Chains A and B, each alone.
Chain A
């Protein structure tokens, strides 16, 4: 027996790239305009390589200027992209009628990867690729749309065999998926649900996961309780343990504590893995380098950040989890407990009244 210790749709879519460019640099004002109810579609180019470490050029190149179609082009010779890129393409293409989606003829040898991940089925379009080619089984989770709690529970059961995970590898993976998708279901009001995909990479022995929504975005959620002036500041707050948009009260509400994103960043941090979160015009990226000590403020971690990206209406999260370096989940929980307590105590102390000595 264990007793713990006691102590005293609207679719908020995307600003046109031209508008985003025009307004960039006016934080908290025009940069934050979203267009309720307006579908804004895009052109995108799948490069030969876009993983979390080098995803920035892909994000900067997305063109939201055509609001009637989705046009997909790709590198002619090779396409190798993180699942988060595929989840983004799927999320943006989902509201577009299949006849308005144009996919350039794919010539890259690796283009079958897109088919294997279910991109064209998802979008209801044809790839032009020969379907009779052998499709290796691999270890991956094809693009999946999750709309509610029950679908999530079923999905989590399915991904373990799909990724061929060993028992000791299971905990961080299902933890990440559960917390991120529940965030989408509970907070995002995403008309496309959560679009999830994952891939195991044998060479680096890691699992890459992408979870994307086209909902209200982090800033709008955080602004319910905190005055974050920019998307980047909202992302920063969302990554601090105990900060939730649902209340300013310490400990959160009866349903939300504001700890989910911090846990996920921590899983990536202690294993020296990449983690990215992109919402509105901003992206925070946890870098692989630096000490694995957990920090309360994400800006104290080794990171990069951007504030001038095309404005994504919703939230994009990508994370890598190295399987051979997976730090014991138990050890991680000790570290989280320690830093979480520190965060709460610091916030309480910050509210102390100072005595007046006259």
Chain B
């Protein structure tokens, strides 16, 4: 189980898609490929944009199917961040 503390990477406002993509490619995908689970820790993140969350996780759902969400846990999300994550996971799964 690998934990990524997002605040350390993007600060309190998670909007930098370039960093999101880099995290996905360099850390999240390699972890999932080893069949390990991952925790995305949103502690101290005040807000996130839909674009950031999309760049972070959308391709995982597309490539590995909806089941990949069983291996990802979203930790310490505030209410708004939870809702942004829900919007992205909704439209990615509904569009499959």
Interface residues of A (CB under 8 A from B): 1-8, 149, 152-153, 156-157, 170-171, 174-175, 178-179, 182, 241-242, 249-252, 254-257, 259-260, 263, 329-330, 333-334, 336-337, 340-341, 344-345, 348
Closest to B78 in A: A330
A263: chain B residues within 8 A (beta carbon): 50
Excluding A6-B66, A251-B91, 10 further A-B contacts by CB distance (< 8 Å) are A4-B89, A6-B70, A156-B13, A157-B13, A170-B47, A254-B21, A254-B24, A255-B21, A259-B91, A337-B87
Closest to B40 in A: A2
Instruction: Tell me if A178 and B94 are in contact (CB < 8 A).
Output: no
Q: How far is it, in angstroms, between the C-alpha of A4 and the C-alpha of B83 when the chains are bound?
A: 9
Instruction: Tell me if A153 and B83 are in contact (CB < 8 A).
Output: no
Pick the 5 closest A-B CB pairs, nearest first.
A250-B95, A254-B59, A333-B83, A7-B93, A4-B89
A5: chain B residues within 8 A (beta carbon): 86, 89-90
Instruction: Tell me if B75 and A340 are in contact (CB < 8 A).
Output: no
In the complex with contacts A174-B15, A341-B91, A2-B66 CB distance below 8 A: no
Q: How far is it, in angstroms, between the C-alpha of A4 and the C-alpha of B59 when the chains are bound?
A: 16
Instruction: Tell me if B69 and A6 are in contact (CB < 8 A).
Output: yes
A333: chain B residues within 8 A (beta carbon): 80, 83-84, 87
Is B49 located at the chain interface by the 8 A CB criterion?
A: yes
Fill in one digit per residue for B9-27: 1 if any A CB lies within 8 Å of its CB, else 0. 0010101111001001000
Instruction: Tell me if B49 and A175 are in contact (CB < 8 A).
Output: yes
B47: chain A residues within 8 A (beta carbon): 170-171, 174-175
Name the interface size band of chain B.
35 or more
Question: Which of A4, A340, A348 is B69 in contact with, Cβ under 8 Å?
Answer: A4
Instruction: Tell me if B50 and A257 are in contact (CB < 8 A).
Output: yes
Interface residues of B (CB under 8 A from A): 11, 13, 15-18, 21, 24, 39, 46-47, 49-51, 54-55, 58-59, 61-62, 66-67, 69-70, 72-75, 77, 79-80, 82-96
B39: chain A residues within 8 A (beta carbon): 1
Q: How far is it, in angstroms, between the C-alpha of A221 and the C-alpha of B68 when the chains are bound?
A: 32
A1: chain B residues within 8 A (beta carbon): 39, 73-75
Q: List 28 A-B contacts (CB under 8 A).
A: A1-B74, A2-B82, A2-B85, A3-B72, A4-B69, A4-B82, A7-B94, A8-B93, A152-B16, A153-B11, A153-B16, A156-B15, A171-B46, A178-B49, A178-B51, A249-B95, A250-B94, A250-B95, A251-B62, A254-B21, A255-B17, A255-B54, A255-B55, A337-B90, A340-B90, A344-B90, A344-B94, A345-B94
Interface of A is mostly: helix
In the complex with contacts A2-B73, A4-B69, A337-B86, A257-B91 CB distance below 8 A: yes
For residue A9, give the distance in angstroms from its CB to the closest CB of chain B.
21
Question: Which of B11, B46, B67, B95 is A251 in contact with, Cβ under 8 Å?
Answer: B95
A340: chain B residues within 8 A (beta carbon): 87, 90-91
Instruction: Tell me if B95 and A3 are in contact (CB < 8 A).
Output: no
Query: Which of A6, A8, A242, A249 counts the most B-chain CB atoms under 10 A from its CB?
Result: A6
For residue B58, give the distance in angstroms from its CB to the closest CB of chain A.
6
Query: Which of B50, B89, B93 counts the most A-chain CB atoms under 10 A from its CB?
Result: B50
Q: How far is it, in angstroms, between the C-alpha of A330 and the C-alpha of B79 when the chains are bound?
A: 7
Instruction: Tell me if A257 and B88 are in contact (CB < 8 A).
Output: yes
Instruction: Tell me if A3 and B73 are in contact (CB < 8 A).
Output: yes
In the complex with contacts A7-B94, A179-B49, A252-B58, A149-B83 CB distance below 8 A: no
Instruction: Tell me if A174 and B13 are in contact (CB < 8 A).
Output: yes
Closest to A153 in B: B16
B85: chain A residues within 8 A (beta carbon): 2, 4
Q: How far is it, in angstroms, between the C-alpha of A170 and the C-alpha of B79 when the chains are bound?
A: 15
For residue A198, give the distance in angstroms from its CB to the closest CB of chain B.
16
For residue A152, give the distance in angstroms from its CB to the closest CB of chain B.
8
For residue A2, give the distance in angstroms from its CB to the closest CB of chain B.
4
Instruction: Tell me if A242 and B95 are in contact (CB < 8 A).
Output: yes
Question: Which of A3, A7, A152, A156 is B90 in contact with, Cβ under 8 Å?
Answer: A7
Q: How far is it, in angstroms, between the C-alpha of A249 and the C-alpha of B46 when the chains are bound?
A: 31
Instruction: Tell me if A257 and B51 are in contact (CB < 8 A).
Output: yes
